[in-house]
Each structure stands twice: as structure tokens, then as C-alpha cells.
Chain A
Amino acid sequence: MTESVIIVGAGQTAAVAARTLRRRGLGGRITVVGEEAVRPYQRPPLSKDYLSGREGEDGLWLLTEDWCDRNEVGLRLGAHVRKVHRGSRSVELADGTLLEADALLVATGTRPRRLPGVEGERVRYLRTLADANRLGADLRPGAHVLVIGAGFIGAEVASTARELGASVTVLERADHPLGHVLGRRMGEVCAALQREHGVDLRTGETVEKYMETADAAVVTTTAGRAIEADVVVIAVGVVPNVEPLIGSGVELNNGVVVDEHCRTGVAGVFAAGDVARHYHPLFERHLRVEHFDNANGQGMAAAKNILGERIAYTAPHWFWSDQFGRNLQHVGHGHGCDEIVVRGQADSFDFTAFYLHNGVLRAAFAVDRGGDIAVARQMISARAMPDPAGLRDENVDLADLSAATH
């Protein structure tokens, strides 16, 4: 029987798992080991309202001191896990401390991918609270911000920088943003949204050479252009933090490989959140998903499985992004879909796009239509085959359509 649990990592997944374990009756010790010195916090606002200064730190905290005291959850902050011992549930910290428990949850998350050769005083990344504090100070009226990468973090930083009066250039290596998630057509809609708000978005172009002068960063692009900026933000994706597990016997392949119950191949070792490449029964493949809701839901599922329940994590992945005054949401997995049906007006950024594969709804992407996403999520879970004409027709109530396909 599982009595004690060590959670490696102290982000959203860890916080939710700790809460779930305690709430559902785990009696023994819970230890959360975090690399950062600050208490666990939420990351979504770091590129949005916290970065813009509209929200302070108060709303960010996840496991308060009071809660940890009352629930006897031990936080070891500023602690680096050097390794997970082979075939076991014992971890070794950088200072030599050995921690052991009945179960181990790996929730180490990810870190920003570095761009080789782009280093200096004016280079910024955005992952941690400290990163957000540093970048926030750079985003001011008149500043020129160069963002490398037009994905969700790049776009949100660009949006916040514009809101604060900075001028913004974005370089995107692909010929449209977010193609791997949304496909070309919707990627172009996202590009249009950025451009409409004064972002100088240059696609098919990235960094060739980087240098800093006394008063600027100078990027030479692959198109031969030289761009000067006050600050350069690198937002080209993340890499999973798997290093402590090398040699542990746990399978690693673009993340920690787990089944639908968040289990690795080593008994008692689980993984969840950004770092977990999990088997997803609905999409019949392994996926690694770097979003808040996945961290949340999977953290909860992992905790239940640690407690011996057999709960498969099957929810279609969902995320939102707030940028340029719009609310973007996506649910499901649209890869390989053969038809996109649009409800509403994509040109005026008020629509939902439904992604179908052989008639089965697999994903949906909405701008300012979060209500549609709720219904889409239900239909995706049910592998529904909704009538495309009904999806397109604004006079058809989506909830009715969903009910009709069950």
C-alpha cells in the first residue's frame, strides 16, 4: 500500500497531485521537491496579465504555507534532483540528500529551448517568475522588442509588449505560425491577428547571426536583414526535463514515457504534466502536451493512480491563449485531419474551426467562442460524427447537434 510520495517538480502538476493525494486520503508523508527557490506558482499569467503588470503576485501562489502546514506537505525548495536511482523510488539531491518513498511522481516540466549562438545581456527567455519579472521591466513604451518564434508564448509576449507601448518584430522560421497545431489556414488567421495589432511578423525567416553593441542587440536574419532591438525574446519551444531519470531504467523518448495511467515501466514511478509523453486512448498514440489544463488533469489522474485507483487519463487536451484582446481556445488533436469546417467569420476573428478526420470530430479551434469549445470537447470525447452543415450553420444550436450525434 502506498503511504508516502515524493513529487519531483513543484509546478501545476505537482500542486494538484499533492492536493489530490491528501484530499483522497493518503496518510503518509508527501514531499514536493522544487528547483526554484520560490514557492509553487501558476505560470499562465506570466506571459499575460502578470507580465503586463495588470495582476500582481498574490493570485499566482499554488501551495500556500498555511495549506502545507495544515496538510503536512513538505516543500524542499531550491533543491536540484541529481538522479533517480535505478529501478527504485529513491532520489538523490545535489547536496547528497537521499529521499525515499513508496511512490515517485516525476513532474519536472520543461525548460525553454536555447538558440545556439544567441547569448548576451539582451537575450530573454520566459518560463519562470524570475524570467517574467526581468522581461516585464524591458517592455515599455518606445522599446523595440524582437521575438523569435510566433507560437503561443511568442504571440502572448508580442501582445503584452504592444499593449505596453513597445514596438514588436516577430521572426518565425516556418512560413506561417502554429502550423503543427492548427494547420496552415488557421495559422494564417493567427498571423493576421498579430499583424492587425501592429506586430511586424516575418515568416520564413529566423536568426542567422546575433551580436550586441553598446546600446542594442543586432540580429542578422536568414533573409539577410539586420534588425536592432533593445531586447530579444527567444520563444522557440521547450525541452522536457528528463536528466535526473537518465540511467534510472525509466523509458525516455521526448519526455518520460507513461501509459494512460501515468505509469512508467518502473513500479511505483509515475510521471505527469509537460514532461510526460503519455499514451492517449482517444487519439491512440503517445502525446506530450505543454499546457495548463493537461498539467492539472494529469496531475489529478496521476495522484488517483498512485492511490491504487485505475483512472485512465482520457480527456481531450484543451488550452487557451489570451492575445491581442482575443481569447483563443483549442481542444483535441487535429493532426492528420482531412476537413476543416468553419462556423462564423475567420476574417473578423469570431469563429470556431472544427477539425474532422473521416467525419469524426478530432479537434476544434475557436476565437472568442469558448462556449463552442465546451460542446466540441464533449463531441471529441464521444468520437462524434457531427453533420458538417450543422457545424457551419449558426442557427443550429451546437449543444443540440451534439446531443443528436450521441
Chain B
Amino acid sequence: MGSWVEVASLEELARRKRKLVVVGTQQIGLFLIGGTVYAVSDVCVHKQRSLTKGTVLNGQIICPGHQWAFDPQTGRAADREECQPTYDVRIEQGAVFVNPSPRALTSEER
């Protein structure tokens, strides 16, 4: 499935902390949180607002629309059933790559 796509430089993420990238038809939000780069679908599962227009607080991604809080690793919404798709990220020589096939959650993450 899906091949890795270069989407950003680590340097610009270090500066802006988050970035919206488009891979094929998917809008993916990149977030630099505590030194790790995470990739989640930018389109909120709740009301389709853009997560990169939100904020990061206490390690969670906060949607600007209705303040839903997502775990950047699993995409899981706090206190809710819903889950935001997430993507694998790879860093190579200062470049950020994502695998545009949404990850399946591991058994511990479910």
C-alpha cells in the first residue's frame, strides 16, 4: 500500500509547529509536539473543521470548531467514541515523509 511522500522540512515545522499538506485528495495536518512529528487527517471527524487551524495544548490537538481534543498518536478523541485518521511519519535528513494510507491502530492503541 501507499508509498512515502515528502511533504515538509523539519526546519519549517520547527518554526510553525503545524502545517497543512495535501497528498492526492487527502488533507493531512502535520504537528510537531514534544519533538515528535505527527500526521493526522486535517478534516475533523466531527464537523469537518481544519485541525491545523486549531491549537496544541498539553500534547493534544484541539479542534477550533468545537474544542474536541485528539491524541496525536492514535487520533482518538478525548471522552468520545470518534477517532481521527492518523498516518505514519518518517524523518530523513531533515525532510518529513508521510505514508498516505491511514494507519490501523495497534491492539494497545485500541
Mark contacts of A382-406 with chain B using CB atoms, 8 A cut-off: 1 yes-contact digit, 0 otherwise.
0000000000000001110010000
Q: Are A370 and B57 in contact (CB under 8 A)?
A: no
A contact residues, range: 10 to 19
Q: Are B66 and A374 in contact (CB under 8 A)?
A: no
**Interface flag for A320 (CB, 8 Å):** yes
Within 8 A of A (CB), among B16-65: 17, 49, 53-58, 62-65
Chain A's closest residue to B57 (CB) is A374
Please, which residues of chain B bring their CB within 8 A of the CB of A373? 64, 67
Q: Are A399 and B65 in contact (CB under 8 A)?
A: no
Q: Which of B49, B64, B66 contacts A369 (CB 8 A)?
A: B64
Q: Which of B49, B55, B64 contacts A399 (CB 8 A)?
A: B55
- Provide the main secondary structure of the chain A interface: helix
Q: Are A371 and B54 in contact (CB under 8 A)?
A: yes
Chain A's closest residue to B62 (CB) is A374
Q: Are B56 and A370 in contact (CB under 8 A)?
A: no
B contact residues, range: 10 to 19
Which of A318, A373, A374 has the most chain B CB atoms closer than 10 A to its own CB?
Answer: A374
Mark contacts of A36-74 with chain B using CB atoms, 8 A cut-off: 1 yes-contact digit, 0 otherwise.
000000000000000000000000000000000000000
CA gap between A368 and B55 in the complex, in Å: 13
Chain B's closest residue to A318 (CB) is B67
Q: Are A327 and B56 in contact (CB under 8 A)?
A: no
CA gap between A402 and B62 in the complex, in Å: 15
CA gap between A378 and B58 in the complex, in Å: 10
Please, which residues of chain B bring their CB within 8 A of the CB of A293? 67
Within 8 A of B (CB), among A340-374: 368-374
Please, which residues of chain A bring their CB within 8 A of the CB of B65? 320, 327, 370
Chain A's closest residue to B64 (CB) is A370
Would you give the shortest CB distance from B29 to chain A, in whole angstroms? 12
Q: Which of A320, A327, A368, A375 contacts B57 (CB 8 A)?
A: A375
Please, which residues of chain A bring their CB within 8 A of the CB of B55? 371-372, 374-375, 398-399
Q: Which of A318, A320, A370 contacts B54 (CB 8 A)?
A: A370
Q: Which of A329, A368, A369, A399 contacts B56 (CB 8 A)?
A: A399
Please, which residues of chain A bring their CB within 8 A of the CB of B62? 370-371, 374
CA gap between A327 and B50 in the complex, in Å: 13
Please, which residues of chain A bring their CB within 8 A of the CB of B49? 327, 370
Please, which residues of chain A bring their CB within 8 A of the CB of B66? 320, 370
CA gap between A369 and B63 in the complex, in Å: 10
Please, which residues of chain B bring their CB within 8 A of the CB of A320? 65-66
CA gap between A33 and B63 in the complex, in Å: 34
Please, which residues of chain B bring their CB within 8 A of the CB of A329? 67
CA gap between A311 and B65 in the complex, in Å: 27
Chain B's closest residue to A370 (CB) is B64
Would you give the shortest CB distance from A15 to chain B, in whole angstroms? 14
CA gap between A329 and B56 in the complex, in Å: 17
Q: Are B57 and A378 in contact (CB under 8 A)?
A: yes
CA gap between A375 and B53 in the complex, in Å: 13
Chain B's closest residue to A44 (CB) is B66
CA gap between A378 and B57 in the complex, in Å: 9
Please, which residues of chain B bring their CB within 8 A of the CB of A402? 57
CA gap between A39 and B49 in the complex, in Å: 28
Would you give the shortest CB distance from A55 to chain B, in whole angstroms? 10
Please, which residues of chain A bring their CB within 8 A of the CB of B17? 397
Chain A's closest residue to B67 (CB) is A374
Please, which residues of chain A bring their CB within 8 A of the CB of B67? 293, 318, 329, 370, 373-374, 377
Interface pairs (24), CB distance under 8 Å = A293-B67, A318-B67, A320-B66, A368-B64, A370-B54, A370-B63, A370-B64, A370-B66, A370-B67, A371-B54, A371-B64, A372-B55, A373-B64, A373-B67, A374-B55, A374-B57, A374-B64, A374-B67, A377-B67, A397-B17, A398-B55, A399-B55, A399-B56, A399-B57
The 8 closest A-B pairs by CB, nearest first: A370-B64, A371-B55, A374-B62, A371-B54, A371-B64, A374-B55, A374-B57, A374-B67
Q: Could you list 18 further interchain pairs (A-B, Cβ under 8 angstroms) beyond the known A370-B62, A399-B57?
A: A320-B66, A327-B49, A327-B64, A370-B63, A370-B64, A370-B65, A370-B66, A370-B67, A371-B53, A371-B64, A374-B54, A374-B55, A374-B57, A374-B62, A374-B67, A378-B57, A398-B55, A399-B55
